[in-house]
Amino acid sequence: MSTPLAVATVRVALLTYSTKPRGGVVHTLALAEALQRKGIDVTVWSLGRGGDTAFFRPVDVPVRLVPFAARDDESVGERILRSIAALREAFEPGAYDVVHAQDCISANAVDDCVRTIHHLDTFTTPELVACHERAVVRPRAHVCVSAAVAAEVRAGWGIDPVVIPNGVEASRFAAAEPGFGELAPYVLAVGGIEPRKGTLALVEAMALVRAAEPSWRLVVAGGETLFDYRDYRAAVDARAAELGVEPVVLGPVDHELLPSLVAGARVFAFPSTKEGFGMAAMEALAARVPVVAADLPVLREVFAGTVRFAADPVSLAAALLAPADPALREAGEALCRRHSWDAAAESHIAIYRTLV
């Protein structure tokens, strides 16, 4: 019988597709730092899109960024294929015992990996359809951040992933002082304007909210993405103008300022049509901000008893206007305390040991 390897001898590469503050990228960096605290030799690989030479925040692990110039003349499908090729050409698989891909682009760029499936998408672009399929069926081990997503994978492909929930930087958001007072009172949404985030429904709900509370604003933060959502954003802008909502769109917010933006919100809106876990909502709970979430199975799984749920713009507006519930806030803080990145790292190490 072989002797188990010491933790320090396990060399792990975590691969992600961007340096921008999207959920999967936030997950990758937090997990990498937690793995390093546990003694794992970990390196994060990503594409440095558009000249980026660093991630959106400082990272306490070794980082390898592959230069990836922007091109205005390529389609989404062409950009995906070029992303895969660039990462594949630069990556050094022989330097690592475990390669862990966090998205379909990085999972297509390597031949033998663990894959975290944060959520499943439905694409129409042929290159993306093929990328998505290969990134599910080719990896030798699978992780999902919620049981709901794992059930989708099991039903669709007969694959049984390990469920390891996300952590949350609870102390960073709990310690935040409310900021952005010039915008107050505001309803906050994080993730940008895109179909998956349910922005159009939120705009319609805010029209009802402002009928009762004319001073309330909608503030939207985040939104870095590979995809072209111009048509959707134009539809949202048109509907917002028609309803007189006038959202304040901040775009990506500096990492150091995000906790104060969240803490300053009257309520956090999370009306997504698809999620894998809901890290942004968890951060809002850590900041003791009431959360209203879409009534999705995955969000019921993660947040039951800590947030209000809504199924349409009318119920969303009613939930946004409802007084804060101290019981929900207390339960939300307790939930955040149960989700640590160190615990997530321990669960990942258990998987890595079986693969080395």
What is the residue extent of each domain of the chain?
A: 7-167+340-355, 170-337
CATH class of this structure's domain 170-337: alpha beta
Q: How does pLDDT run across 81-125, given as a tens digit for each residue? A: 999 999 999 999 999 999 999 999 999 999 999 999 999 988 888
| Segment among 11-25, 160-174, 215-229, 339-353 with least mean pLDDT | 215-229
Residue type, 155: A
Q: Are 262 and 175 in contact (CB under 8 A)?
A: no
Between CA 175 and CA 354 the distance in angstroms is 38
Q: Are 290 and 308 in contact (CB under 8 A)?
A: yes
Longest alpha-carbon distance in the chain? 71
Between CA 145 and CA 162 the distance in angstroms is 9
pLDDT score, position 5: 47
Burial class (CB in 10 A: 0-12, 13-18, 19+), 15: buried
User: Phi and psi (nearest 5°) for 31?
Assistant: -65, -45
Q: Cis link prior to 126 (omega < 30° from 0)?
A: no
Residue 233: C-alpha distances to residues 13, 237, 240 (Å): 36, 6, 10
pLDDT reading at 3 higher than 60: no
Q: What is the pTM of this model?
A: 0.94
Question: What would the 3-class secondary structure string for the chain be?
Answer: CCCCCCHHHCEEEEECCCCCCCHHHHHHHHHHHHHHHCCCEEEEEEEEECCCCCCCCCCCCCEEEEEECCCCCCCHHHHHHHHHHHHHHHCCHHHCCEEEECCHHHHHHCCCCEEEECCCCCCCCHHHHHHHHHHHHCCCEEEECCHHHHHHHHHHHCCCCEECCCCCCHHHHHCCCCCCHHHCCEEEEECCCCHHHCHHHHHHHHHHHHHHCCCCEEEEECCCCCCCCHHHHHHHHHHHHHHCCCCEEEECCCCCCHHHHHHCCCEEEECCCCCCCCHHHHHHHHCCCCEEEECCHHHHHHHCCCCEEECCHHHHHHHHHCCCCHHHHHHHHHHHHCCCHHHHHHHHHHHHHHHC
pLDDT band at 307 (very low <50, low <70, confident <90, very high): very high
Between CA 216 and CA 199 the distance in angstroms is 17
- For 321-344, give one letter per residue: b (16+ CB within 10 A) or e: beeeeeebbebbbebbeebbbeeb
pLDDT score, position 243: 98
Q: Are 309 and 325 in contact (CB under 8 A)?
A: no
Residue type, 290: P
CB atoms within 10 A of CB 311: 13
pLDDT reading at 354 higher than 80: yes
Pairing of strands 63-68, 248-251: unpaired
Between CA 252 and CA 83 the distance in angstroms is 22
Tokens of 51: 């000249």
Q: Are 32 and 26 in contact (CB under 8 A)?
A: no
CATH architecture of 7-167+340-355: 3-Layer(aba) Sandwich (3.40)
CATH topology identical between 7-167+340-355 and 170-337: yes
Computed over every residue of the chain, the mean pLDDT equals 95
pLDDT reading at 4 higher than 50: no
Calculate mean pLDDT across residues 187-201: 95
pLDDT band at 135 (very low <50, low <70, confident <90, very high): very high
